[in-house]
Structure 1
Amino acid sequence: MSDFLQSLSVSASGLRAQASRLRLTSENLANVDTPGYRRKTSSFESVKESGQPTGEVKQGRVQLDQSSLPDIFDPNHPMANEKGYYQGSNVNLMMEIADAREAQRSYDANLKMFEQARKMSSSLMDLLRR
């Protein structure tokens, strides 16, 4: 594979990975007040071809955060037990906002890399036409 195609492929895989990370973060943010909801997390895995790393990444398996769910006191809540407590969500709003910003900046960096490789290949084609 040519270097231009390889760089486009690597940046495109980064774009896909960060987009899926943003989807998980937005899902967590949407469920911050959902009782019993566990935060979803994922990691990235290196893509290998014939046992060799290609430089591309993909989203790993989605996992649920196993940290304890907070007990919230609200005797009027329909899910409250006889003592007036129910289990809340383990989503930390500040953590999700920070993850979203990091994913968005990484997405932008991959997009700039993709655009730069595309411009370079376009310039090369223009030079070859002359």
Structure 2
Amino acid sequence: MSDFKNSLAVSASGLKAQAQRLRHVSENIANADTPGYRRKTVPFENVAAADGAAGLVKTGRVKLDRSPLAQVYDPTHPLAGPTGHYDGSNVDLVIEIADAREAQRSYEANLKMFEQSRQMSSDLMGLLRR
């Protein structure tokens, strides 16, 4: 029965990690037009369970993307310097949408694994009751 528990724990940790990733992606998209905003990324880390089960994952510390900020020309903007430029954000909406799609697909895969493990456990209990 511990194998079922481990598979549920692995898929649940994947669900949590992808949900956290999706939160940061949506925050990046929301701040795409915020001057000086740096894109946030979240790495995944392996976690060893207390019983030695492998495959658990969690999110690491949030990191800021250090790629250069876009220089936006708008002399009327309050943050514009003497040349009329100010620092935009380094958020690329195409990358964010791709990350969101990848997180969604991974979330769906983890959810399917969770449902399959739960169904197998339920079927096993049904067989044992006979």
TM-score (norm: length of structure 1): 0.95
Q: Percentage identity across aligned positions?
A: 67
**Cα distance in 1, alignment partners of residues 66 and 13 from structure 2:** 28
SS at match of 1:58: strand
The aligned length equals 130
- String of CA shifts for 1:39-58, please: whole Å, max 9, x gaps: 000110000246x5621000
Q: Which amino acid aligns with 1:57?
A: V
Equivalent position of 2:107 in the other structure: 107
SS at match of 2:86: strand
Question: Relative to 1, partners in 2 of residues 1:53 and 1:64: Cα closer, same or farther, differing over 3 Å?
Answer: farther
Gaps of 5+ in 1: none
- Runs of 4 or more above 2 Å deviation: none
**Cα distance in 2, alignment partners of residues 4 and 49 from structure 1:** 15
Contact 2:49 2:56 in 1 (8 A): no
Gaps of 5+ in 2: none
Matches of residues 9-48 of structure 1 in structure 2 within 5 Å? 9-48=9-48
Matches of residues 1-130 of structure 1 in structure 2 within 5 Å? 2-49=2-49, 54-130=54-130
Q: CA deviation at 1:19?
A: 0.3
Q: Which protein has the bigger strand share? A: 1
TM-score (norm: length of structure 2): 0.95
**Cα distance in 1, alignment partners of residues 104 and 81 from structure 2:** 40
SS at match of 2:55: strand
